Amino acid sequence: MLQRLKDNFHLSMITLVGVIASCTLLPYALYRLATGSYLVGIVDLLMIAVSTVSVWMAWRTGDTEKPGFLMAAVFCFGAVLVCMKLGQDVLFWIYPLMVFIFFLVAPIKALLLLLLMVSAIVSLHFADHSRIFNSGFQLLAFITTTFITSIFAYIFAYRTHLQRQELRHLATTDPLTGAATRHSLTDELTAAIEQYQQKNSVSGLMLLDLDHFKRINDNFGHQSGDQILSQLVPLLKQMIRQQDSVFRYGGEEFVLLIKEIQLADLHRLAEKIRHAVWHQLSLPDGSALTTSIGIATVQQATDWENWLQQADVALYQAKHQGRNQVVIATGHEADKSDPS
């Protein structure tokens, strides 16, 4: 649980805002109901309920965008309703709410929601002048301070969003080849297994290894080996769909996750990739480069480790059967050692 909060910033923020909102609003809701302010009390309870449901949805589904937007929209709507009923007493709560919103949704969406909320509050002032602001100067001060708060919160949230994207890219992208890293492989395989269990959507896995790569580094140098790896990944990406993924699993090992594909089609695609590597990539001396591939579908897997293990066993068999070939996993474990 704690690890999931550490790994998912948006989930942790939705959880934090939900807990703070519920703990803060509950005493007020009970007080409003006890003193006869039923509308305000009901609105407070509604925001607590939405916070609880949104946090549950985010944890249950892994989707944080929809729960975050639901919570933000209801908070803004609730603030307008309470402001209409209680007037100036609520205005101080607008400012922490403005900051909360930027943690719940994308910066531009937060800015639009806050614009709608402030516009609605200002409109209420003109509809009932005595309800919210005592003077035009107070109204102007509210508009100015909310504008300044929104702009600076937007800048901070936007810059933070860009930095998180950059850090995520650095953590999940191999700098040499541009393939996804092993770090992100586990989550993708787990998601593919869940898709199969829930929707019967079959995905396929290829474990690809360049034959005799150590000899390439020894004979031609590591720079030549790096150049071959950097040429391989673009070739692989050309042969798969946008929804599929390429991961660098080891030095010269790559994993391809192919979604919505049956075993026969996966086998044909693997053969095309093997043939393309053989005929389109070459060593510095002009000799052919070959690859061995082990494949397995999610139907054979009990978990992501087992799925990857089956493809690894198939790759091992391809190596020991002469290399430059594709082997389909049978799902049986096999003792193995690292072939040279």
Active-site annotation, residues: 252
Q: What is the 3-state secondary structure (H, E, C) of the chain?
A: CHHHHHHCHHHHHHHHHHHHHHHHHHHHHHHHHHCCCHHHHHHHHHHHHHHHHHHHHHHHHCCCHHHHHHHHHHHHHHHHHHHHHHHHHHHHHHHHHHHHHHHHCCHHHHHHHHHHHHHHHHHHHHHCCCCCCCCHHHHHHHHHHHHHHHHHHHHHHHHHHHHHHHHHHHHHECCCCCCECHHHHHHHHHHHHHHHHHHCCCCEEEEEEECCHHHHHHHHCHHHHHHHHHHHHHHHHHHCCCCCEEEECCCCEEEEEECCCCHHHHHHHHHHHHHHHHHHCECCCCCECCEEEEEEEHHHCCCHHHHHHHHHHHHHHHHHCCCCCEEECCCCCCCCCCCC
- 279 in Cβ contact with 297 (< 8 Å): no
Task: Give all strands of the β-sheet with 253-258 in edge-to-edge order.
Answer: 245-248, 253-258, 204-210, 291-297, 326-328
Strands 291-297, 326-328: pairing is parallel
Task: Categorise residue 324: left if φ over 0, alpha if ψ from -120 to 50, beta otherwise.
Answer: left
Q: Residues near 309 by Cβ (< 8 Å), separated by ≥ 6?
A: 333
User: For residue 56, what are its two tokens?
Assistant: 């549950």
